[in-house]
Amino acid sequence: MTATTSTYPPYTASSGLSTAMSRTLKAEWTKFHTLPSTWRMTVTAIVTSIALGAILCASQASQWATMSASQRRSFDPTACSLGGVFLVGVALLASLAVRSVTAEYATGMIRSTFTATPTRRLVLVAKAAVSAAFVFPVALLCNLVSFEAGQRVFAAKHLQVSFGHPGVLQAIIFGAIGVSLVAILGVGLGGIIRHTAGATTAVIMVIVGGVTLGQFLPAGLRQYLPGTALEAAVTVHRSVGLLRPGTAIVVLGIYAATALAAATIRVAHRDA
């Protein structure tokens, strides 16, 4: 067993929290990108988002002739083209974040994780950071391609807007930020619920269920629901019942931070 004798560069112990954080981030990133299912899910999310966005746009365009004047006024070609992302893509991408926590609880590997990193809040923060950092560029790509595809569909009816149109670029970027925040929310719900199916359902309920359930709430409250806030983040036309995009991002951020904080407390105080 001479092979166990260390022949590697001298190890420098460092007790700094920043070192521990950067090591945990690196480990969580390694975990995240070495799962083949991460990439399968990512491709699925991209394809589904773009295809669904194009279908939504085609449907809108075909109904244009029969739409009322008020419907035409509130028509938002940007938000419509991004519909695939903020209705379905977000749930698929957030499920990656959920699973980064729940898969470890399901298998028991969470014990290896907490043995390697006993400061458990670092683990959850790192999972949230890695998920959000991965999801942001993916969502941005989805938004850019969906926007472009949607505007090409609308071009047939001369309904298209361009990138240069005020608010368009902001909607594309804020939409991606919003999806990243939902991913952080997913890590939080994953840590609280600890079961893949349960936590994924919770994320979907929060986004889609919020919109459905929201019909029964007064508009003043409804605009603060996560799903409605995500819609507001990608909406260019100011419309009644939706927050300003910047406010919507702040609201989503509060949801994400609250869920993550709750998960941190729960995970830290439980036996693993």
Task: Give residues in contact with other proteins (CB under 8 A).
Answer: 1, 3-6, 8-9, 11, 13-15, 19-20, 23-24, 26-28, 30-31, 34-37, 103-104, 107-109, 111-119, 271-272
Q: At closest approach, how far in Å is the CB of 94 from other proteins?
A: 19
Contact 97, 2 (CB under 8 A): no
Q: At closest approach, how far in Å is the CB of 14 from other proteins?
A: 7
Neighbours of 268 (CB within 10 A): 15
Q: Which is nearer to other proteins, 31 or 222 (CB)?
A: 31
Q: At closest approach, how far in Å is the CB of 31 from other proteins?
A: 5
Q: Which is nearer to other proteins, 96 or 251 (CB)?
A: 96
* Residues in CB range of 115: below 8 A, 6 or more apart: none
Q: Which is nearer to other proteins, 119 or 239 (CB)?
A: 119
* Residues in CB range of 216: below 8 A, 6 or more apart: none
Amino acid at 238: R
Q: Which is nearer to other proteins, 12 or 70 (CB)?
A: 12
Q: At closest approach, how far in Å is the CB of 34 from other proteins?
A: 4
